Amino acid sequence: MSRWEPDAPGRLQLAAFELYTERGYDQTTVAEIAARAGLTERTFFRHFADKREVLFNGGDRFRATIVDHVLAVPASATTLEVVTAGIQAAGSVFPDRDTIRRRQALLHANPELQERELSKLATLATSISQALRDRGSPATTADLAAETGVAVMRIALTRWIEDPTERPWRTHVNTTMAELRQLTA
């Protein structure tokens, strides 16, 4: 019999998500999250840097997936095609629509959480830009392509979530990219 129950971070994540949705983010204290997970407040901060970070855990895997796919595209592709491929790949790590919907609703209701989300997307853009440079793109092009790519991803995500006909991720990415091309034509 081990001294502690396993997977403390996972329990904390679950407890936090539940409490944030039940009572709201501001109305939840870290002590309450820890209590529900059977832990102490101090332990929460050993696993997560702050009260928001507990909601952004898959971020690293998400970023890695996109970067990997960006690096895997044949050299013959255009920069924008490369970015598109990376964003397409992001769909493979999405959980089901409803989980994302609930998550987005949470973020939408709390400015602090939105800020953190934007911050994560910004570092994602930086990673994509770096990957593009590793492929040989000039720095300026890489930055611009990464930023617009993330913008496209955000918009496509909103549409994907709200689409009543539940068309696949791929479709919404392509549609949004097509609009981007038309915009600059």
- Kindly list the residues in this chain that would bind a second copy in the complex (CB under 8 A): 79-80, 111, 114-116, 118-119, 122, 140-141, 143-145, 147-148, 151-152, 154-155, 159, 176, 179-181, 183-185
List the one residue from 23, 24, 31, 139 that touches DNA (CB under 7 A). 31
What's the token pair of residue 1? 């019999």
2 interacts with DNA by CB under 7 A: yes
3-state helix, strand, coil in the chain (%, to 5): 75, 0, 25
Other residues' Cβ atoms within 10 Å of the Cβ of residue 87: 24
Interface residue with DNA among 21, 36, 45, 85 (CB under 7 A) is 45
Q: Which of 13, 19, 28, 63 binds DNA (CB under 7 A)?
A: 28
24 binds DNA (CB under 7 A): no
Cα separation, 177 vs 175, in Å, equals 5
Structure tokens at 100: 């994302």
Query: Does 41 participate in binding DNA (rule CB under 7 A)?
Result: yes
Tell whether the torsion through CA atoms of 16, 19, 23 and 29 is positive or negative: negative
Half-sphere exposure of 7 (CA within 13 A, CB side): 5
Partner from DNA, a second copy, none binding residue 118, C-beta < 5-8 Å depending on class: a second copy
**Structure-block tokens of residue 69:** 């796919």
The least distance separating a second copy from the CB of residue 5, rounded to whole angstroms, comes to 32
Q: Does 4 bind DNA (CB under 7 A)?
A: yes
Compute the least distance from the CB of residue 40 to DNA, in Å.
3
CB 124, CB 154: distance < 8 Å: no
- Beta carbons within 8 Å of 152's beta carbon, 6+ residues apart: 87, 173, 176, 177, 180
Choose the contact partner of 72 out of a second copy, DNA, none; CB within 5 to 8 A by kind: none
Task: Report in angstroms how near the CB of residue 35 gets to a second copy at its nearest.
Answer: 27
> Binding residues for DNA, per CB under 7 A?
1-4, 8, 28-31, 34, 38-43, 45-47, 49-52
